[in-house]
Amino acid sequence: ETGVTQSPTHLIKTRGQQVTLRCSSQSGHNTVSWYQQALGQGPQFIFQYYREEENGRGNFPPRFSGLQFPNYSSELNVNALELDDSALYLCASSLAGTGSNYGYTFGSGTRLTVV
Protein backbone atom coordinates (compact mmCIF):
# COMPACT_ATOMS: atom_id res chain seq x y z
CA GLU A 1 0.00 0.00 0.00
CA THR A 2 1.23 3.44 -0.88
CA GLY A 3 -1.07 5.39 1.43
CA VAL A 4 -2.46 8.86 0.76
CA THR A 5 -0.08 11.75 0.24
CA GLN A 6 -0.99 15.42 0.26
CA SER A 7 0.94 18.46 -0.88
CA PRO A 8 1.96 20.94 0.21
CA THR A 9 2.02 20.29 3.94
CA HIS A 10 1.77 23.96 4.84
CA LEU A 11 0.67 27.00 2.89
CA ILE A 12 0.14 30.69 3.60
CA LYS A 13 -2.09 32.71 1.31
CA THR A 14 -3.51 36.21 1.29
CA ARG A 15 -7.24 36.90 1.47
CA GLY A 16 -8.76 37.00 -2.01
CA GLN A 17 -6.16 34.70 -3.56
CA GLN A 18 -6.76 31.26 -5.03
CA VAL A 19 -5.20 28.00 -3.84
CA THR A 20 -4.84 24.46 -5.15
CA LEU A 21 -4.23 21.52 -2.83
CA ARG A 22 -3.21 18.14 -4.14
CA CYS A 23 -3.82 14.56 -3.09
CA SER A 24 -2.48 11.25 -4.33
CA SER A 25 -4.86 8.44 -3.46
CA GLN A 26 -3.97 5.02 -2.16
CA SER A 27 -3.36 2.53 -4.93
CA GLY A 28 -6.57 0.85 -6.13
CA HIS A 29 -8.90 3.35 -4.49
CA ASN A 30 -11.47 4.86 -6.86
CA THR A 31 -13.03 7.44 -4.54
CA VAL A 32 -11.60 10.54 -2.95
CA SER A 33 -13.17 12.82 -0.36
CA TRP A 34 -12.04 16.16 0.98
CA TYR A 35 -12.61 17.46 4.49
CA GLN A 36 -11.99 20.79 6.20
CA GLN A 37 -10.91 20.70 9.83
CA ALA A 38 -10.92 24.06 11.59
CA LEU A 39 -8.86 24.41 14.74
CA GLY A 40 -10.43 22.53 17.65
CA GLN A 41 -13.21 21.01 15.56
CA GLY A 42 -14.04 17.78 13.83
CA PRO A 43 -13.55 17.43 10.08
CA GLN A 44 -16.36 18.74 7.89
CA PHE A 45 -17.15 17.07 4.58
CA ILE A 46 -16.52 19.25 1.52
CA PHE A 47 -17.17 16.88 -1.40
CA GLN A 48 -16.45 13.45 -2.83
CA TYR A 49 -15.39 12.26 -6.28
CA TYR A 50 -16.00 8.82 -7.73
CA ARG A 51 -14.45 7.92 -11.07
CA GLU A 52 -13.81 11.61 -11.87
CA GLU A 53 -17.38 12.74 -11.13
CA GLU A 54 -18.53 14.64 -8.07
CA ASN A 55 -21.08 12.44 -6.32
CA GLY A 56 -21.67 14.31 -3.09
CA ARG A 57 -21.16 17.73 -1.61
CA GLY A 58 -21.35 19.25 1.85
CA ASN A 59 -22.40 22.76 2.86
CA PHE A 60 -19.57 24.60 1.15
CA PRO A 61 -19.94 27.43 -1.38
CA PRO A 62 -19.14 26.98 -5.10
CA ARG A 63 -15.76 28.67 -4.69
CA PHE A 64 -14.68 25.29 -3.31
CA SER A 65 -14.21 23.02 -6.32
CA GLY A 66 -12.35 19.85 -7.15
CA LEU A 67 -11.05 17.51 -9.77
CA GLN A 68 -10.22 13.82 -9.82
CA PHE A 69 -7.89 12.50 -12.49
CA PRO A 70 -7.79 9.10 -14.24
CA ASN A 71 -4.90 8.02 -12.04
CA TYR A 72 -7.15 8.81 -9.04
CA SER A 73 -5.06 11.76 -7.87
CA SER A 74 -7.17 14.82 -7.09
CA GLU A 75 -7.17 18.53 -6.45
CA LEU A 76 -9.10 20.87 -4.19
CA ASN A 77 -9.34 24.44 -5.46
CA VAL A 78 -10.52 27.36 -3.38
CA ASN A 79 -11.13 30.75 -4.98
CA ALA A 80 -11.43 34.15 -3.30
CA LEU A 81 -9.90 32.96 -0.06
CA GLU A 82 -11.40 34.21 3.19
CA LEU A 83 -9.86 34.29 6.64
CA ASP A 84 -12.28 31.55 7.78
CA ASP A 85 -10.83 29.21 5.17
CA SER A 86 -7.81 28.80 7.43
CA ALA A 87 -7.88 25.14 8.40
CA LEU A 88 -6.35 21.71 7.97
CA TYR A 89 -7.58 20.17 4.70
CA LEU A 90 -7.71 16.40 4.69
CA CYS A 91 -7.98 14.07 1.74
CA ALA A 92 -9.31 10.54 2.15
CA SER A 93 -9.40 7.76 -0.41
CA SER A 94 -11.49 4.61 -0.42
CA LEU A 95 -12.78 1.82 -2.62
CA ALA A 96 -16.45 2.30 -3.43
CA GLY A 97 -18.79 -0.24 -4.90
CA THR A 98 -18.79 -4.00 -4.51
CA GLY A 99 -16.46 -5.01 -1.74
CA SER A 100 -16.41 -1.60 -0.09
CA ASN A 101 -15.90 -1.82 3.62
CA TYR A 102 -15.70 1.93 4.13
CA GLY A 103 -11.98 1.67 4.67
CA TYR A 104 -11.08 5.32 4.32
CA THR A 105 -7.38 6.14 4.30
CA PHE A 106 -6.58 9.71 5.26
CA GLY A 107 -3.60 11.78 4.30
CA SER A 108 -1.72 13.94 6.80
CA GLY A 109 -3.36 17.07 5.50
CA THR A 110 -2.44 20.51 4.23
CA ARG A 111 -2.43 23.30 6.78
CA LEU A 112 -3.75 26.43 5.04
CA THR A 113 -3.37 29.82 6.69
CA VAL A 114 -5.12 32.81 5.14
CA VAL A 115 -3.83 36.21 6.22
Partner 1 sequence: AQSVTQLDSQVPVFEEAPVELRCNYSSSVSVYLFWYVQYPNQGLQLLLKYLSGSTLVKGINGFEAEFNKSQTSFHLRKPSVHISDTAEYFCAVIPTDSWGKLQFGAGTQVVVTP
Query: Residue from 22, 67, 73, 96 that binds partner 1 (CB under 8 A)?
Result: 96
Determine, following the binding rule CB under 8 A, whether residue 92 of this chain makes contact with partner 1.
yes
Query: Residue from 2, 27, 41, 79 that binds partner 1 (CB under 8 A)?
Result: 41
d(CA 73, CA 70): 7
d(CA 47, CA 9): 20
Closest CA to 91 of 109, 79, 73: 109
In the complex, the smallest distance separating the C-beta of residue 23 from partner 1, rounded to whole angstroms, is: 11
Query: Residue from 29, 32, 35, 72 that binds partner 1 (CB under 8 A)?
Result: 35
Determine, following the binding rule CB under 8 A, whether residue 103 of this chain makes contact with partner 1.
yes
Q: Give backbone dihedrals phi and psi of 84, rounded to 5 degrees, phi first.
A: -70, -10
d(CA 18, CA 40): 25
Determine, following the binding rule CB under 8 A, whether residue 87 of this chain makes contact with partner 1.
no
Query: Residue from 21, 29, 43, 86 that binds partner 1 (CB under 8 A)?
Result: 43
Q: 27 CB contacts (<8 Å, ≥6 apart)?
A: 1, 2
* Residues forming the site for partner 1 (CB under 8 A): 4, 6, 31, 33, 35, 40-45, 48, 50, 55-56, 58, 90, 92, 94, 96, 100-104, 106-109
